[in-house]
Structure 1
Amino acid sequence: MEIQYSPGLLGSVRDAYGQGRLENTTEARAYAGTAHPSAQGDSISVSQDALLLSEAHRAAQSAPDVRTDKVESLRLQVANGTYKPDSRLIAANLLREEPGLFAL
């Protein structure tokens, strides 16, 4: 079984738990007192995409927000008057990163 992400469903479940609406319903109380055994047992599998996304998220969270070595190097170049930005490289990177920026 594959479960698709649904932001609307997640929000409504979170709201229901947060406001205590589930435990106050007759159906919820009846379900809580009933055992629901499974013939095979429950299982879960996570897709390779989900694993990669999780790994990328962890890497991004652990990375520093500022590359201090790069900032310090540029600061010294500006202070010494040796900073010479490559305008062609900057333009090429802008076109590559933001293709819609220059759409005519």
Structure 2
Amino acid sequence: MEIKKAYGELNAYSAQKLQETQRVQQDQTAKTAQQAGDKVALSSEARLLAAANSTASAAPDARAEKVRELKEQVQAGTYNPDIRKAAANLIRDELSLPR
């Protein structure tokens, strides 16, 4: 009895099976991508900051004169802020933010 190797036929079948598997995986990936979509979830802090930003943007610029005066002081080199007061305000603001 003579046995001949049939590797060529097996390799062709393996290649076809591999292509079929890859095609199925690509189809599943495409379906998953279409179904998943992108989602955005904002934290309550982010929503609060966005609302504050919107409110501040909509408010009239009542402090324009104060800003102009401070700019002139900075440019002239005569601006001397109270560093302790600024630090205290920063700490107060940080402590008042919701966590």
* TM superposition score normalised by structure 1: 0.33
Structure having the higher helix fraction is: 2
Q: Bigger relative contact order, structure 1 or 2, given CA contacts below 8 A and separation 6+? A: 2
Larger Rg: 2
* TM superposition score normalised by structure 2: 0.35
